[in-house]
Structure formats: C-alpha cells, structure tokens
Structure 1
C-alpha cells in the first residue's frame, strides 16, 4: 500500500515537471551570435543605494553597440569594449546581450553614463526644485522634488525628504 502511494506521488511530480518544462520550452529560444556581429550590453540602474526600490522608466537598459570578437563555449562571447570600460572583463553571458539591429551610428554614448565595475550606472541628484507636505492618515510626510543627473525624459521625481537627507545631505546645504 505504501509503495503504491509513493509511486503515485512520483508519477504526479513527474507530470508536473513535464508540464512546467513544456511551458518553459515554448518561451525559450536559442540565442546565438556570429563573430563580427554587433550587440548591445545590458546595464542596470543603480543610485548608490537601492533607493526606494524603483527604477527610472526611461533609463538606459543597454549600451553599445559592441563588436563580438570571439565565442567562448556555448553561451559566452568576448566583446570589443571601448577604453572607457577598461576595468570590466570583456566576456559576457548571452543573457546580458541583445542583437543590435540598427546601424553602428545609432548608439548610447558612454560619455553620458557613469558605470561602476558591476555595470551599474549611477544617477546622482543635482538640486532640489520644490518641497511639499503630504498628509497621510496618521502622519505627515515631507517630499522634495529632485532633479537627477542622468535621467532621460522627466528629470524631476518626488522623493521623501528624510531619505534624501540621509543619503544626500549636501543637497540641503550641509
């Protein structure tokens, strides 16, 4: 009796695994590049801290294009990086790359973006433009309108004043 239950459980787990694998295989596509292709490199937004757990909607997600110099194994590629990215290793996993479909003249200039060694770009606040008080149910929250350095589109966001004091006291003349 116990062996039958164990066999039934194994069969159900196997069926669930097969079902999940079929779902994943429908979305999965093999990504391959040829030597000489141009690709975009993924970067992630970072503001010195994981600030308020949000990301700028119009921030750059990819930089480049970069030329592929060689293939390393099945899923990695050597890229020809510019001199500004000297501190970064030039081998990347295929998940960090996107095929560049435009010509080589249409690219995000690296001069405008400051990258750290983890390929994160840094947004720094420039000035505080406005202050407002928001009344919530049981407390009052002071907010400041902050102009950011590398934000595309709308450069102003409303942030909590105490968080800005904590991380950027120089904005308040301190």
Structure 2
C-alpha cells in the first residue's frame, strides 16, 4: 500500500511540474511606463457589492487609469488597518451621504451613497438601499433618530 501511495504522489508531482512548465511559457514580467493607461483587475468578494453589478455581470477590470509615477514598493501602515489572522480586513460603512431613485422599466430602485472606512482618502459608492439595510441596519437607525 505504501508503494502505491508513493507511485500516485510521483505521478501527481510529474503532472504538476508539466502543467507548470506550460504555464511558465506564457508568463512575462510586466513593465509599466509612466503616462500610459492600464486597467485594474477587480477581485470580487462574496457578499460585497462594488461597481454596481452582481455575479457574472460584475466587471473583471475597471479603468482605464493613467500611471502617474513609478513607486518601488508600497508598504501599508499596519496601524491604519485592523487585520485579522488571515491578513484581511473588512470595510465598514461610516454613514450614507445621499439618496436617489433609479428608475427602470418595471420598478424603481432606491440607492444610497455610502462613505466607507479603511481608506487613505474617503471612498464612496452607490449601493442599493435594500442590501445596505439588510447588512448594516444600524446606519439607518442612527439617521432616523437624528431626523426626528
């Protein structure tokens, strides 16, 4: 039995090495030049609504953005972010700034402009009011108390 397991591992290792050699042929180092334009790859996370689309229709790239300067390395200040053990952080909405109604052919969709935390500069996005109420009800409770 031990010999069979070793044989299977050897076959898996050979297959992985072969696939890696095929993938390495297409890899190349990227060189970015100042004043050129690039698209940024978006890595969607489950449950996070960004850029206005869900599922299959959510964009894989956003932009184009112009490269303003070349930076040797980018180091995050660990005190500015609350990282957990998996080295990730969760964005939390600070408050909503504005509301609007987007009309489609069959229905009206209430949208809210949300200010998000954990950014060097303030970042806002338009989100559907229903999804924000479902996830962050405390935002709307505070505003309703202030309005009365």
The TM-score with structure 1 as length reference comes to: 0.44
1:92 maps to what in 2?
A: none
For 2:78 and 2:21, how far apart are their aligned partners in 1? Answer: 41
2:37 is equivalent to residue 50 of structure 1: no
**Greater helix proportion:** 2
- What value does the CA root-mean-square deviation take over the aligned residues? 3.4
What does residue 25 of structure 1 align with? 24
CA distance 1:109–1:117, change in 2 (3 Å): same
Higher relative contact order (CA 8 A, sep 6+): 1
CA displacement at 1:151 relative to structure 2: 2.9
Say which structure is richer in strand: 1
Aligned length in residues: 94
Matches within 5 A, 1:61-100: none
- Residue 171 of structure 1 pairs with residue 139 of structure 2: yes
1:150 partner SS = coil
**2:95 match:** 127
Contiguous gaps of at least 5 residues in structure 1: 1-17, 30-43, 58-100
Structure 2 unaligned residues grouped into runs of 5+: 1-17, 29-42, 52-59, 63-71, 143-148
